């Protein structure tokens, strides 16, 4: 969130409202789930960190409005962010450990855990696909849904690998 907002401000100063509108549009159907205050909370944190500067702009018939501008330090952070290739959720490590610990402690059947997890991911995939079908194919939001769907499919394939492994272990 922080980096996206700073990047938007790298182009030109903007009001919090404009930033929020931009995010809602770029997220497509997920835009509605964006916490309304999140943009403003983020902006005030960035301001305290010296990454953005706020200027009061007088408005004839409304209270003064804040316009945010990126500082030099903010500009540098944006460059770092654009070059950063860190990928979140590289491996579902917590689930992997859950299987290993379940097998070691006999607290649960790893294969049953895999089955339950897979059904949950397939339910998510079902919902994503319903959303994708309702979204115009050329909308930015459709691209986000496609990315989420492909990652879920990769996770589901990994669960199939887990299933094979744990079925083999159990039958030994």
Binding site for other proteins (CB under 8 A): 1-2, 4, 23, 27, 29-35, 38, 41-42, 45-46, 115-116, 118-131, 133, 144-145, 148-149, 152-153, 156-157, 160, 163-164, 167
Nearer to other proteins, 41 or 101 (CB): 41
Nearest to 10 by CA among 85, 77, 104: 77
Nearer to other proteins, 33 or 72 (CB): 33
Phi/psi at 102 (5° precision): -65, -40
Q: How far is the CB of 64 from other proteins (least distance, A)?
A: 23
In sequence order, the β-bridge partners of residue 14 are 68
**CB neighbour class for 39 (10 Å; exposed up to 12, middle 13-18, buried from 19):** buried
Q: How far is the CB of 163 from other proteins (least distance, A)?
A: 7
Q: How far is the CB of 26 from other proteins (least distance, A)?
A: 10
In sequence order, the β-bridge partners of residue 67 are 15, 55
What's the token pair of residue 31? 């835009």
SS3 46: helix
Q: How far is the CB of 57 from other proteins (least distance, A)?
A: 23
Nearer to other proteins, 64 or 134 (CB): 134
Question: CA-to-CA distance for 62 and 42, rounded, in angstroms?
Answer: 23
Q: How far is the CB of 28 from other proteins (least distance, A)?
A: 9
């Amino acid at each position: 969130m922080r980096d996206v907002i700073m990047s938007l401000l790298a182009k030109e100063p903007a009001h919090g409202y404009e930033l929020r509108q931009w995010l809602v549009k770029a997220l497509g159907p997920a835009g509605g789930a964006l916490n309304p205050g999140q943009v403003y909370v983020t902006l005030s944190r960035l301001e305290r960190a010296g990454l953005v500067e706020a200027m009061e702009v007088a408005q004839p018939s409304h209270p003064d409005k804040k316009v945010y501008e990126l500082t030099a330090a903010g500009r540098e952070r944006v460059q770092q962010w654009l070059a950063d290739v860190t990928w979140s959720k590289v491996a579902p490590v917590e689930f992997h450990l859950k299987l290993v610990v379940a097998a070691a402690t006999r607290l649960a059947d790893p294969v049953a855990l895999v089955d339950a997890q897979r059904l949950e991911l397939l339910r998510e995939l079902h919902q994503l696909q319903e959303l994708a079908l309702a979204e115009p194919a050329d909308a930015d939001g459709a691209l986000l849904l496609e990315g989420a769907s492909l990652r879920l499919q990769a996770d589901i394939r990994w669960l199939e690998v887990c299933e094979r492994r744990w079925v083999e272990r159990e039958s030994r």
